[in-house]
């Protein structure tokens, strides 16, 4: 097997006495859509932020394309930042810029493209996400779903090799949720990026991912293909599957009128 | 007791060290930053154009009061003819750099601290970093560079309008001959005074804008509050500390240069 694009070993992170991540090992192959499932509060966002270097891990190593990412090696970190992008759970849009300026900013600040090329590429990204008619709006004047798509546009506009998605579907309606997963899958093939997705949308994740892992109790309890996940009889996996299913049933029960 | 003092001292020293590193990173950030001129122009607008009204208003009143007070003091000794000297030297050497800096802190510094604090809170600063954009270079450098120019310019404007205010109350209201007023101004102010004035203004600019940026940028590390309250607490602290620093550094520079 080829060398993994992203390799994580022994990653640990605590906040005070609360250990959120207690030794995570993970390999993401180039071109994969890798999805991490896990209940809310499991530390999925913290994990992504450690990978992105947003918060410093207590222990463990992250290798990107064979190179160790560490503060003592700023060149490797700069290279990593250049080739990756991040979709934040909170979107983290620049609220004093327009939608177009938001998408243009990473191009403006990290490439030598001309203003016209930047504008064209930014508009193209907006068009791909069907929000080009809102180009001159401020993010605060957009709905939650549109903001999410704007954040997605900003994440893919630099043509990254690896994209981290933190709950890309949070706050979206079911239709858009499907659309986002479809989009990730489509662009993933079209632009050939590698995706590391964090979500709790199990059914969608199982359809679009090449690999899924389950984060619970600070560790990856399962790591395999979607088919293996569906077929797994591991208690943690069945427990998680059941809880998601139970929630679905509860909701369904709420919707069916009582006899 | 000794322990508390020791701990606080260490805390202060490490804070100062951190602040110094912040300023260094912000100046160094200017070298890698792209499209910096455009950002600097925006900072010019924030610190210059937006602060213009308050500078003009405070400047004219300062001059008016200096003219009045100066006239009453000097007329006791029969030397109203020196009114221009008194007004101009007070303005150039002390009042203009200090008051202009305090006014820009109140207007632009507080806005800057709050803006950065909100950007920190909503993960915009983190987002910049993950995009490979140096957040110091993008957010702080242009404002610092602008401050080096804008503070002296605003101070010069403050002096000019203050002198005019002094002549209004001194000559127009109280009857000092305008020719005598302006020639006293002309004779009193020397190159060294102007230099001191500009050194003060530029120093205040760099210090106050750094302090306001530092507090806003680090709003998430505010020890007393979180979220929106952390932004407001950081903004308040930034303005209060900037004001104290202006006055303290003014004393230091004056005693050093005189
Ligand atoms: N900056 C922080 N300081 C302290 N605790 C944090 C911080 N960020 C996250 N946590 C804690 O880490 C745990 C995991 O959070 P998170 O990764 O956001 O969960 P999720 O899996 O839902 O994304 C939570 O218990 C949260 O309270
Ligand atoms: Mg999360």
As a whole number, mean pLDDT of residues B119-148 equals: 94
Neighbours of A74 (CB within 10 A): 9
* Å from CA of A199 to ligand 2 middle: 8
pLDDT confidence of residue A207: 86
Which residues of B fall within a CB distance of 8 Å from A94? 119, 124, 127
Nearest residue, CB atoms, B126 vs list A54, A84, A106: A54
Compute the distance between CA of residue A169 and CA of residue B145 in angstroms, rounded to an integer.
41
Compute the distance between CA of residue A79 and CA of residue B220 in angstroms, rounded to an integer.
27
As a whole number, mean pLDDT of residues B1-24 equals: 90
Domain edges within chain B: 2-257
How far does the CA of residue B165 sit from the closest CA of chain A (Å)?
39
- Nearest CA owner, ligand 1 atom 16: A43
Whole-prediction pTM: 0.90
pLDDT confidence of residue A178: 81
Cβ partners under 8 Å of residue A93, min gap 6 = A102, A139, A147, A150, A151, A154, B124
Compute the distance between CA of residue A162 and CA of residue A83 in angstroms, rounded to an integer.
7
Which contiguous run of DSSP H or E holds residue B49? none
Confidence of residue B45 (pLDDT cuts 50, 70, 90): very high
Indicate if the pLDDT at residue A258 is higher than 60.
no
Nearest residue, CB atoms, A81 vs list B34, B115, B130: B130
Q: Counting beta carbons within 10 angstroms of the beta carbon of residue B192, is it exposed (0 to 12), middle (13 to 18) or buried (19 or more)?
A: exposed
Q: What token pair was written down for A140?
A: 């605060």
As a whole number, mean pLDDT of residues A186-195 equals: 82
**Three-state secondary structure call for residue A54:** coil
pLDDT confidence of residue A182: 80
pLDDT confidence of residue A192: 82
Phi, psi of B50 (to 5 degrees): -65, -25
- Nearest CA owner, ligand 1 atom 19: A41
Across the interface, whether the CB atoms of B130 and A82 are under 8 A apart is answered no
Provide the mean pLDDT of chain B: 94
Compute the distance between CA of residue A200 and CA of residue A205 in angstroms, rounded to an integer.
8
Residues A155-189 as b/e (b if ≥16 CB within 10 A, e otherwise) read: bbbbebbbbbbbbbbbebeeebbbbbbebbbebbe
pLDDT confidence of residue A259: 45
Cβ partners under 8 Å of residue A169, min gap 6 = A148, A176, A177, A180, A181, A199, A201, A204
Instruction: Give per-residue pLDDT as tens, A141-169.
Output: 998 888 988 998 999 899 899 999 998 88
Indicate if the pLDDT at residue A1 is higher than 70.
no
- Identify from A56, A85, A109 which residue to disrupt to test chain B contact, counting B C-beta atoms within 10 A and taking the largest count: A109
Nearest residue, CB atoms, B124 vs list A84, A94, A109: A94
* Å from CA of B150 to ligand 1 middle: 43
* Å from CA of A43 to ligand 2 middle: 7
Compute the distance between CA of residue A53 and CA of residue A139 in angstroms, rounded to an integer.
26
Alpha helices in B105-140 (DSSP H): 110-121, 124-130, 135
**Contact, B246 vs B96, CB < 8 A?**
no
User: A158 at the B interface (CB within 8 A)?
Assistant: yes
As a whole number, mean pLDDT of residues B126-148 equals: 94
* Å from CA of A46 to ligand 1 middle: 6
ipTM: 0.86
Asked whether residue A89 is domain-assigned, the answer is: yes
Indicate if the pLDDT at residue B125 is higher than 80.
yes
Confidence of residue B88 (pLDDT cuts 50, 70, 90): very high
Within a 13 Å sphere around the CA of A45, how many CA atoms are in the beta-carbon half? 12
pLDDT confidence of residue B159: 97
Asked whether residue A27 is domain-assigned, the answer is: no
Asked whether residue A207 is domain-assigned, the answer is: yes
In ligand 1, the atom with minimum distance to the C-alpha of A43 is 17
Provide the mean pLDDT of chain A: 88
Instruction: Give per-residue pLDDT as tens, B66-76.
Output: 999 999 999 99
Residue closest to A177 by CA, chosen among A212, A201, A195: A201
When mean pLDDT is compared over A107-121, A195-209, B149-163, the highest value belongs to: B149-163
- Nearest CA owner, ligand 1 atom 27: A41
- Identify from A75, A82, A92 which residue to disrupt to test chain B contact, counting B C-beta atoms within 10 A and taking the largest count: A92
Compute the distance between CA of residue A38 and CA of residue A220 in angstroms, rounded to an integer.
9
Confidence of residue A247 (pLDDT cuts 50, 70, 90): confident
pLDDT confidence of residue A205: 84
Nearest residue, CB atoms, B34 vs list A85, A94, A108: A108
Indicate if the pLDDT at residue A19 is higher than 70.
yes
Residue A53 φ/ψ region, left for φ over 0, alpha for ψ in the -120 to 50 degree band, beta for the rest: left
pLDDT confidence of residue A257: 58
Indicate if the pLDDT at residue B142 is higher than 90.
yes
> Which range marks the domain in which residue A230 is found?
6-21+32-253
- Identify from B36, B132, B137 which residue to disrupt to test chain A contact, counting A C-beta atoms within 10 A and taking the largest count: B132
Asked whether residue A26 is domain-assigned, the answer is: no
Lowest-pLDDT range of A32-41, A231-240, B165-174, B231-240? A231-240
Compute the distance between CA of residue A38 and CA of residue A237 in angstroms, rounded to an integer.
10
Rg (chain B; Cα; Å): 21
Across chain A, the runs of DSSP E, i.e. the strands, are: 6-15, 18-28, 33-37, 59-64, 67-68, 84-87, 162-166, 194-199, 211-216, 219-224
Q: What token pair was written down for A101?
A: 């300026």
**Contact, B26 vs B144, CB < 8 A?**
yes
Q: Which residue of A has its CA nearest to B39?
A: A109
As a whole number, mean pLDDT of residues B105-127 equals: 95
Q: pLDDT higher for A258 or B161? A: B161
CATH number at residue A193: 3.40.50.300
As a whole number, mean pLDDT of residues B232-236 equals: 96
Residues 8-27 of B with CB under 8 A from A: none
- Total residues belonging to chain A: 259
Ligand nearest to the CA of A44: 1
Percent of chain B having pLDDT more than 70?
Answer: 100
Number of domains forming the structure of chain A: 1
User: A92 at the B interface (CB within 8 A)?
Assistant: yes
**Three-state secondary structure call for residue A52:** coil
**Contact, B20 vs B122, CB < 8 A?**
no
- B25-to-B119, B126, B235 alpha-carbon distances in Å: 18, 16, 21
pLDDT confidence of residue A256: 64
Asked whether residue A211 is domain-assigned, the answer is: yes
Across the interface, whether the CB atoms of B127 and A92 are under 8 A apart is answered yes
Q: Counting beta carbons within 10 angstroms of the beta carbon of residue B198, is it exposed (0 to 12), middle (13 to 18) or buried (19 or more)?
A: middle
Asked whether residue A170 is domain-assigned, the answer is: yes
Report the residue among A45, A164, A199, A200 best suited for mutation to probe ligand 1: largest number of ligand atoms under 8 A from its CB: A45
Q: Which residue of B has its CA nearest to A111?
A: B34
Compute the distance between CA of residue B158 and CA of residue B167 in angstroms, rounded to an integer.
14
- Total residues belonging to chain B: 258
Q: What token pair was written down for B204?
A: 């205040």
Instruction: Give per-residue pLDDT as tens, B47-68.
Output: 999 999 999 999 999 999 999 9
What residues does ligand 1 touch, defined as CB less than 6 Å away? A 15, 20, 38, 40-46
Residue closest to B66 by CA, chosen among B86, B37, B40, B52: B86
**Three-state secondary structure call for residue B77:** coil
* Å from CA of A43 to ligand 1 middle: 6
Compute the distance between CA of residue B130 and CA of residue B132 in angstroms, rounded to an integer.
5
């Amino acid at each position: 097997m080829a060398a993994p694009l992203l390799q994580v070993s022994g990653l640990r992170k605590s906040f005070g006495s609360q250990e959120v991540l207690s030794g995570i090992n993970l390999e993401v192959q180039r071109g994969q859509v890798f999805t991490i499932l896990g209940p809310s509060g499991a530390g999925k966002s913290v994990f992504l932020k450690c990978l992105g270097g947003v918060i410093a891990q207590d222990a463990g190593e992250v290798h990107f394309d064979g190179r160790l990412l560490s503060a003592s090696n700023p060149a490797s970190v700069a290279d990593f930042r250049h080739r990756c992008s991040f979709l934040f759970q909170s979107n983290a849009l620049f609220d004093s810029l327009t939608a177009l300026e938001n998408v243009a900013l990473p191009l403006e600040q990290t490439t030598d493209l001309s203003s016209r090329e930047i504008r064209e590429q930014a508009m193209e990204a907006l068009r791909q996400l069907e929000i080009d008619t809102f180009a001159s709006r401020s993010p605060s004047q957009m709905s939650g779903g549109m903001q999410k798509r704007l954040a997605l546009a900003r994440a893919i506009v630099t043509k990254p090799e690896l994209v981290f998605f933190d709950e890309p579907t949070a706050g979206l309606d079911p239709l858009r949720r499907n659309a986002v997963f479809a989009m990730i899958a489509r662009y993933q093939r079209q632009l050939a990026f590698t995706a590391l997705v964090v979500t709790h949308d199990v059914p969608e994740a199982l359809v679009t991912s090449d690999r899924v892992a389950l984060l619970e109790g600070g560790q990856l309890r399962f790591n395999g293909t979607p088919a293996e996940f569906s077929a797994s009889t591991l208690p943690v996996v069945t427990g998680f599957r059941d809880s998601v299913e139970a929630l679905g049933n509860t909701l369904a029960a709420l919707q069916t009128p009582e006899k | 007791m000794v322990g508390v003092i020791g701990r606080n001292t260490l805390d202060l020293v490490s804070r100062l060290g951190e602040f110094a590193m912040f300023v260094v990173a912000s100046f160094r950030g200017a070298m890698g930053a792209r499209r910096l001129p455009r950002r600097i122009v925006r900072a010019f607008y924030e610190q210059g154009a937006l602060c213009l009204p308050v500078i003009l208003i405070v400047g004219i009143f300062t001059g008016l009061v200096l003219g009045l007070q100066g006239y009453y003091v000097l007329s006791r000794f029969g030397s109203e003819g020196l009114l221009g000297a008194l007004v101009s030297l007070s303005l150039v050497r002390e009042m203009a750099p200090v008051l202009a800096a305090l006014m820009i802190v109140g207007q632009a510094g507080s806005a800057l601290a709050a803006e950065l604090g909100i950007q920190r809170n909503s993960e915009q600063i983190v987002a910049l970093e993950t995009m490979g954009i140096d957040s110091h270079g993008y957010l702080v450098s242009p404002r610092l560079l602008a401050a080096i120019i804008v503070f002296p310019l605003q101070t010069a404007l403050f002096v000019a309008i203050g002198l005019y205010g002094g002549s209004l109350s001194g000559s127009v209201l109280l009857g000092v001959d305008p020719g005598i007023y302006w020639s006293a101004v002309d004779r009193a102010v020397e190159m060294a005074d102007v230099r001191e004035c500009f050194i003060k203004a530029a120093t205040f600019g760099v210090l106050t804008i750094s302090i306001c940026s530092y507090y806003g940028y680090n709003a998430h590390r505010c020890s007393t509050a979180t979220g929106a309250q952390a932004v407001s607490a950081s903004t308040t602290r930034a303005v209060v500390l900037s004001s104290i620093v202006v006055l303290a550094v003014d004393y230091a520079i004056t005693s050093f240069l005189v």
